[in-house]
Each structure stands twice: as C-alpha cells, then as structure tokens.
C-alpha cells in the first residue's frame, strides 16, 4: 500500500542552493511532472495588516494517538560516530488495516548508517524488511487494524559525513536532521505518503518528506568531553545524571545542532526563550538574528495565533541553505559573516521567513512534496509583512530584490518534481507564491484576509493541511470574487470556485 514516486539511482552529489534560498534540505532523487505556465502578476501597493481577534483553538486532532519516538543516542563528537536506539510507537489512526510499515531512513542517502537490528516491541527480530530507495518497508504478518498499536525498535550506528548541510559534521558543528527512522503519514486512499527526493542538475529541489506531529523523548550522552558541548534543540535540554534529556511534544521533526564552540545569547519574550547559537567571531550578528526573531515572533503571534513552544533556537549553520524545524531554525553561516547594511541584509530577509514556519510547517503541516506552496508561499509573503510592520521604507526594496528581480512566472500549484529544478521551484513556490498572497489580500481586503489566515492556522493545528482545506476556509470568510487571482496563479486550483 505504499505510494512512491518513480525511483532511479541514488545520486550522492550535493550542491548549495542560491544565496537567498530558504527551506530546501539536501535529498535524493530525480523529478518528473511539468506544470503549465501562466502569466506573471502586476505589482500593487502593499497594505497595512489589521490585527484580528484570536479564535478559540480547535481541539487537538490526534487525540493522544500521535506517534511516540523514544531515542537514546551516544555521541562521540570528535570521532564523528553516534550509536542510537530509536523506538517508534505507532497507532493506526485510519479506518483501514495497514499491511506494511514504512520508515524514511534519510542517512542512507549519504551511506552513513549501519542498521544493527530491527525488532518488534516484544523483542522479536524483524529480518524480512526490504529497502526501496531510502525507505525501509516492513511487511506485517498480521495487518494493523484501526486503533491498534505497533512498536518497532531500530538499533543503528551513524558515521557522520564530513559535509556542510542539514545532516553532516564539519570541524565546528554537528547537524543532526532527519537522523532517525521516521514514519510518514498514512492516507486511506494513497497509502504511505513516502516520496523520493527530487534532484535536477545535481541540486536537490525542495523537501520530499511529509511529517505528522509526534511526541519525542530523546536522551543524549557524550563519550568524551561532555563539558565542552553546547546543544541547540527545539526544547530545553535538561541534564540528568550523565545525560541530557529533551522532550518535544507534537513536533514534526526533532533536530539537534551541537558544537564545542557555540556562544549562546538568550532573550525571553512573553515566556518564550529565544536562544541564539553562533561561533564567537560572529556574536554581534547573532545578536541581530535574535533581535529579528523576537520581532518576527511578536508579529506572527499577533497575526496567526500564539507561539506554542517554550524555546526558539536560532542557529548559525555550516551550510549554504536555510531551514526550519520545530522550535529551531538553521541560518546559513555566510549570512552571519557577511552581515552588512541593516535592514537590507540577508539576515533581515531569511530569519523572519524561517520563524514564520513555526506556524506554517510546524503548527500547520502540509504535503511539502506535492503542495509546497502551502508553506513556502506564505513564508515568503510573511517576509513582506515583516518589512511592512518594522521597515516600511524598505518594503519596495524587498519586493524588487526578493521577487521582481527574478522575473518569476508560472503557476504556484507545482510539486518539487518540476522539470526546471531549483530556479523554477523557487520562482513559483516562493516568489510567485508571495505575489499570490499579495493579490489575494487586495482582492478580499485586509480584515477578511487576516481573519482568514488566523482561522486557517488555528483550525488546522497539528493537522496536515491541503489546498482544498485552504480554499474551503477562505470561502467561509468571504463572498468576494477572487477568481481572477486564482486564474493568474493556479493551473488546477483545489477546491476553489
């Protein structure tokens, strides 16, 4: 019952995305579909956000049935070796039986994992699993019925590759993203939402993984010089005995950034600790990044509902891209080293973008492989909202630099499997996506626009949103005719009139 894109040979070449690229982690495979083209939009003036009352949050949809990950990791930082036991407790939340389990094992892309054993919860060894690309497929002797639970434990070793990127280790830091076997969502019609990566011209396009909200209980132990290590995570590490314990409820992912050189800047904002992690040489730039994160947190909490975590970590990262995770964002190192000319800087553009993903990615999930516009378009437009609120005199500069200079064209309802690769993907999902939000706002008016987005964010908390759900929520807020906006930006608008 798996749902896979066509698989080809694994390609191990990695390449950095362009300077202002946000949220595009390295992945694995080769693309297919090519959406059709629509005309570009005409620029119009940006209006002023009108705050609207917060709706009553909807009950959590997972009803305590979210997957539980219990991970114990022993890290030999200086030898780049990690020993891990990861226990996954999964409940069938659908109305149909499941006859095989699927795990995404991302480190296989880099040939940096050795799987020691796979066992069921009662200790029974699992020997009949098979590999389909970087997916581990485990047949179930007895199908998992609706409401039933299964526990699977992976014991494995990671040999960290010497590379910059969201998964790798340099001489200055260890970045652990997608480092444990993860269970994708299961859809009753489509099966497991497990996709191959998209790779065009040796560049990985977008994000291929779809994440449900899950609970994480992680224990970290160091084999050597633990006193040197500084841990950045999406929750506060607690030192117990000789280990660090980190609990992260309802997270899409669990990511660690570790270094023996980090300097930490801490600021508290309405009960949230914003923690900046950087090398000592760029602490002043880290101060700027933390300040920007604070401003973004205040604005987006006003517009989309409260930030629901206690910590937001802003981390200087040895990589050529930027990336969001639950309670943690990675900002590429060059933005710290080359910081100049506020507010016309890369930090001013990208930090707000990644902070916005705490709402549209972490709080409200989506299928990032097939509908990337649902999070990347609004994250890019949120940059404009940030400038509109705090640096209005530079808003026109932002539109010219971030959007119009790239001459974006085409429909935004594309997948990561777009033939044009990274440039086409960014022009559509990000830049044209920002133009879509601008024009939609103008068509329906500020009050309705912001009321709709707040409702959409709160009514889809901890769910996986769809384009159809997006437009269904919008249509509950307005009878305005926005059909010309839809025609301008969509080839196959889901659920729109």
Strands 328-332 and 311-317: parallel
Task: Tell whether 3 is covered by a domain.
Answer: no
The dihedral through the CA atoms of 159, 160, 161, 162 has a sign that is negative
Task: Tell whether 221 is covered by a domain.
Answer: yes
Residues 210/20, Cβ–Cβ less than 8 Å: no
Helix axes 433-444, 373-390, angle to 10 degrees: 70
Q: How far apart are CA 324 and CA 335, in angstroms?
A: 16
Task: Tell whether 311 is covered by a domain.
Answer: yes
CATH number at residue 283: 1.10.390.10
Q: Which of 105, 104, 257 is nearest to 194 (CA)?
A: 104
How many structural domains does the chain have?
1
Task: Tell whether 362 is covered by a domain.
Answer: yes
Range of the domain at 324: 15-489
Task: Tell whether 8 is covered by a domain.
Answer: no
Q: How far apart are CA 230 and CA 114, in angstroms?
A: 26
- How many angstroms separate the most distant Cα atoms in the chain? 64
Q: Counting runs of H as helices and runs of E as strands, what totals does the chain give?
A: 10, 26
- Which residue shows structure tokens 């401003």? 295
Phi, psi torsion values for 433, nearest 5 degrees: -60, -40
Task: Tell whether 497 is covered by a domain.
Answer: no
Task: Tell whether 207 is covered by a domain.
Answer: yes
- Overall pTM surpassing 0.75 (yes/no): yes
- What are 244's two structure tokens? 């660090």
The dihedral through the CA atoms of 313, 106, 469, 419 has a sign that is positive
The dihedral through the CA atoms of 486, 489, 492, 494 has a sign that is negative
Task: Tell whether 4 is covered by a domain.
Answer: no
Quick one: which H or E segment has residue 26? Answer: none
In order along its 497 residues, the chain shows pLDDT tens digits of 444 433 333 333 333 333 344 454 333 333 333 332 223 333 334 445 544 444 444 456 688 899 999 999 999 999 999 999 999 999 999 999 999 999 999 999 999 999 999 999 999 999 999 999 999 999 999 999 999 999 999 999 999 999 999 999 999 999 999 999 999 999 999 999 999 988 888 788 989 999 999 999 999 999 999 999 999 999 999 998 899 999 999 999 999 999 999 999 999 999 999 999 999 999 999 999 999 999 999 999 999 999 999 999 999 999 999 999 999 999 999 999 999 989 999 999 999 999 999 999 999 999 999 999 999 999 999 999 999 999 999 999 999 999 999 999 999 999 999 989 999 999 999 999 999 999 999 999 999 999 999 999 999 999 999 999 999 999 999 999 999 999 999 998 886 55
Model pLDDT for residues 439-497, shown as the tens digit of each residue: 999 999 999 999 999 999 999 999 999 999 999 999 999 999 999 999 999 998 886 55
């Amino acid at each position: 019952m798996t749902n896979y894109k066509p698989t080809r040979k694994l390609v191990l070449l990695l390449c950095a995305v362009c300077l202002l690229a946000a949220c595009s982690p390295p992945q694995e495979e080769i693309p297919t579909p090519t959406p059709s083209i629509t005309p570009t939009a005409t620029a119009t003036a940006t209006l002023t956000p009108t705050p609207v009352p917060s709706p009553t949050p909807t009950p959590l949809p997972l009803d305590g049935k979210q997957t539980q990950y219990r991970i114990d990791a022993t890290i030999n930082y200086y030898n780049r070796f990690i020993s891990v036991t990861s226990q996954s407790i999964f409940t069938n939340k659908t109305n149909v039986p499941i006859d095989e389990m699927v795990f995404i094992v991302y480190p296989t892309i880099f040939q940096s994992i050795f799987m020691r054993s796979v066992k069921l919860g009662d200790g029974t060894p699992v020997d009949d699993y098979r590999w389909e690309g970087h997916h581990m497929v485990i047949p179930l002797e007895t199908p998992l019925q609706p409401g039933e639970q299964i526990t699977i434990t992976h014991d494995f070793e990671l040999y960290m590759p010497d590379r910059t990127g969201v998964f790798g280790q340099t001489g200055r830091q260890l970045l652990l993203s997608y480092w444990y076997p993860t269970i994708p969502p299961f859809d009753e019609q489509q099966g497991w939402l497990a996709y191959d990566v998209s790779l065009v011209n040796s560049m990985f396009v977008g994000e291929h993984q779809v994440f449900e909200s899950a609970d994480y209980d992680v224990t970290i132990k160091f084999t050597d010089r633990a006193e040197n290590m500084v841990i950045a995570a999406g929750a506060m590490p607690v030192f117990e005995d000789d280990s660090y314990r980190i609990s992260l409820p309802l997270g899409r992912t669990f990511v660690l950034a570790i270094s023996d050189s980090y300097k930490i800047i801490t600021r508290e904002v309405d009960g949230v600790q914003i923690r900046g992690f950087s090398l000592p040489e760029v602490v002043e730039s880290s101060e700027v990044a933390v300040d920007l994160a604070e401003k973004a947190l205040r604005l987006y909490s006003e517009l989309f509902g409260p930030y629901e975590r206690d910590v937001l970590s802003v981390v200087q990262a040895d990589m050529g891209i930027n990336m969001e995770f639950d309670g943690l964002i990675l900002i590429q190192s060059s933005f710290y080293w080359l910081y100049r000319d506020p507010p016309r800087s890369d930090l001013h553009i990208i930090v707000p973008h990644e902070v916005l993903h705490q709402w549209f990615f972490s709080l409200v999930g989506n299928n990032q492989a097939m509908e990337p516009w649902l999070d990347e378009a609004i994250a890019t437009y949120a940059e404009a909202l940030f400038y509109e609120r705090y640096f209005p005199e530079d808003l026109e500069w932002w539109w010219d630099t971030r959007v119009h200079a790239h001459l974006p064209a085409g429909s935004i309802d594309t997948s990561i499997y777009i033939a044009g690769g990274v440039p086409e993907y960014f022009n559509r999902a990000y830049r044209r996506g920002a133009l879509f939000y601008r024009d939609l706002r103008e068509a329906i008016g500020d009050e309705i626009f912001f009321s709709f987005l707040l409702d959409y964010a709160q009514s889809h908390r901890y769910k996986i949103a769809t384009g159809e759900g997006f437009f269904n929520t919008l249509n509950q807020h307005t009878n305005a005719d926005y059909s010309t906006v839809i025609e301008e930006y969509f080839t196959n608008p889901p659920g729109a009139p």
